[in-house]
Amino acid sequence: MKGLMIMENNVLLATFKNQLSAFEALADIKAKYLGENYVITQAAVVKKENDSLSFKDGFEVNANGNIGFLNGGLLGGLIGIIGGPLGVIFGGTIGALLGESHGEKADKKVVGIFEDVSKYLVNDHYALILLTSESDTSELDNFLNKYEAETILRKDASIVRKDLELAEEYERKLKTDVEYKELKQKFENKSKEIKSNLDNFSEKVKANAEAFTEDLTKFVLDLKNKFKK
């Protein structure tokens, strides 16, 4: 087995202050996705603005070596989570929120990659995120340093995938909870409104029996219209 290269699958995050540097690095890596010691299968440039991540450009390489637009996969899911509703709380209160639902051990696991992104990618700066298999990290490091990368860090891709799965599970739970709370609040508000309408209607009936039929018809029509909204 002598000479066998051991490839490590990593998610690499390189941050840049300069927009041009980030896009030049992406264009260059797209042309050189296969190096002596690395293979890039997904790449994306993102920007952090107002504590939220936005996707700018990217690509993926399929099994046949053809390059196409980044469409899902590990990086797509990662960017979707950080750039979505949970983005504003990653690296902040997400630890406490996840701890309540999944326990301290799960909390520490999920914060990993998201906390790093929050910590090292500051507002108005750019990042190049790569999904790469490497036998030697120095080749990509030297490549990225040509573009004056501020920070270069790596996470085991399998751990990132687990982090992402846990975050997606939490996002689904949070969405369900939010929808439930909104539905419950809407129902309670509507119930109060109906009760108020009924009380008002009762007073009208007592005050003017002759208007009963007209008021009842109007009340029912109004009620139907409100529930249609």
Residues 155 and 199 in one domain: no
* pLDDT averaged over every residue in the chain: 74
Residue 197 forms part of a structural domain: yes
Count the domains in the chain.
Answer: 2
> Is there a domain that residue 2 lies in?
no
Same domain, 91 and 174: yes
**Same domain, yes or no: 82 and 167:** yes
Residue where a domain terminates, one of 180, 202, 218: 180
Answer yes or no: do 151 and 222 share one domain: no
Same domain, 36 and 146: yes
What local confidence, expressed as pLDDT, does residue 215 receive?
46
Task: Note whether residue 158 is domain-resident.
Answer: yes
Residue 153 lies in a domain: yes
- pTM as predicted: 0.67
| 176 and 189 part of one domain | no
Please report the pLDDT score of residue 210 as a whole number. Answer: 47
Judgement on whether residues 175 and 189 belong to the same structural domain of the protein: no
DSSP string, the chain: -TTPPPPEEEEEEEEES-HHHHHHHHHHHHHT-B-SSEEEEEEEEEEEETTEEEEEEEEEE-TTS-EEE--SHHHHHHHHHHTSGGGGGTTTTHHHHHHHHHHHHHHHHHHHHHHHHHHHS-TT-EEEEEEEEES-THHHHHHHHTTT-SEEEEEEHHHHHHHHHHHHHHHHHHHHHHHHHHHHHHHHHHHHHHHHHHHHHHHHHHH-GGGHHHHHHHHHHHHHHHHH-
- Judged against a pLDDT cut of 90, whether residue 131 lies above it is answered with yes
Question: What domain range is 197 assigned to?
Answer: 185-228
Are residues 121 and 189 both part of a single domain?
no
3 domain-assigned: no
Q: What is the mean pLDDT of residues 39-50?
A: 91
Examine the domain organization and report whether 43 and 141 are in the same domain. Answer: yes
- Is 193 within a domain? yes
- Give the pLDDT confidence score for residue 53 in this predicted structure: 80
- Judge if 93 and 191 occupy the same domain: no
- Among 25-29, 49-53, 66-70, 212-216, whose mean pLDDT is lowest? 212-216
Q: Are residues 104 and 171 in the same domain?
A: yes
Where residue 87 falls among pLDDT bands split at 50, 70, 90?
low
- 1 in a structural domain: no
Q: Does some domain include residue 14?
A: yes
- Whether residue 126 is predicted with pLDDT greater than 70 in this model: the reply is yes
Verify that 206 and 110 share a domain, yes or no: no
